[in-house]
Structure formats: C-alpha cells, structure tokens
Amino acid sequence: MPDINKHVKAVVFDLDGTLLDTLDDLTQSVNHALSAKGMPVRKREEVRRFLGNGVRNLIRQAVPEGTAAEDYESAFQAFRAHYVDHCLDRTAPYPEIPQLLSELKRRDYAMAIVSNKLQPAVTELAQRFFHKEISIAIGERPGIRRKPEPDSLLLALKELECGTDEAIYVGDSEVDLLTARRAQVKCISALWGFRDEAFLHSMGADTLVYKPLEILELLP
C-alpha cells in the first residue's frame, strides 16, 4: 500500500457508489425510461455494471444493442426527466459516511465532490446530504470533460486552493482510478460501491478500503 503524502489537506469524493447509494433510484429511472419506450427493462445488477461513466453512457448500455440514435436520445430524455423528480426517493449515504465527513471536517480537511452525474442532480444531492461539510460539488456541465479526463478533479482542487500532491481522491470505479491517475492524485478505492475487489485490483488499484472510516487510518 503506497504512503499517503503527509501534507495531504484535501479529500475529494466521487458521489454515486462512494458517498451515496443511488442504485435503487437509478434503476427505477432507467426502467421507467425503457418501459416508456417499449424496451426491455434491466435488472438491478445490470444497472450496477453500467454505472461509473455518466448517465448518457448508462442509458447507452441499457437500451438494446442496435437502438437507433433518435430512440436512444428519446430514452435518455425520459430517464433524465424521471430521475430529476425521483433522485431522492431511496438514495441515502452509505453507512459510516456521515461520521467520516464529520471527522474530516473536525480535522480541518477541505472536501469536494466530483461526479459524472448531471450538475443539477449533483447540486441537489450535495445540498440535501452534505451541505454542512462540502460546498464544492462538480458534476457534468458544458466546458468540462467528463471523468476519466481529469478536468473536474483538477477544477475541484483549484477551487480548494490545493495542489495535486496535497489531495487524495476517493472513488469506487475504474473510471475514478483513471481520473486520479491522469490528474496525478493519489486514489483510495471504496469497496462498498459499484465494483468488487478483484476487478479493482485488475484495474491497478493498490489502496482499497472496506468501510469509510478506514480512510481516517490512511490520512496524516
């Protein structure tokens, strides 16, 4: 396990699968869109596998192979409209996340969220669940390339006034690993999210935690 820089002063988090368990609400909205367009619905575990690279990619994988571009776009818009209204139905922080964020704040770590989720949903969820600890929450928006490009992570560090060697990034997927690598930021992989340990190891993860509070043991 690599050492975490003793000068770390900021922790940046992915959202879905890291801070929030959003799988049930996402599955509901995916299947609402598919049903509305006369397409076969997906199982919860299928949706889990599709997550990690933004909602457009989620719907692209959820629709049947060979779906015409206009039908894909129609399904995406149906998903988006439904999810905006239902993103809080069953979504909640994972166990130990509230305690982790509270302790990080007590220790004066700066914090931010970076996500491939659409910016309105990121803003709403961050305000709903994490407004006491996190004020910077960056989602998919025009002018910023989505993860695994490093733009959103680097923007978060700029807003935190923090160098890449002064931060760690916590995420649950291969997209998060690659994002951190491209930004030259240390990455901690969360095993309570949407990917399993063997898969993350195969993608090069070398710092993994089973529960959120284990992160505190890795920080200076």
Long-range contacts of 149-152 (CB under 8 A, 24+ apart): 149/179, 149/182, 150/179, 150/182, 150/183, 152/114, 152/115, 152/179
Choose, from 3, 14, 172, 176, the residue flagged as catalytic: 14
Alpha-carbon radius of gyration of the chain: 17
85 is catalytic: no
- Write the CA distances from 124 to 16, 170, 208, integer angstroms: 13, 20, 28
At 194 the three-state DSSP class reads coil
Write out the H or E segment, with its range, that includes residue 12: strand 10-13
Q: Which residues partner with 92 through β-bridges?
A: 21
Q: Locate tokens 């989620």: which residue?
A: 58
Active-site residue list: 14
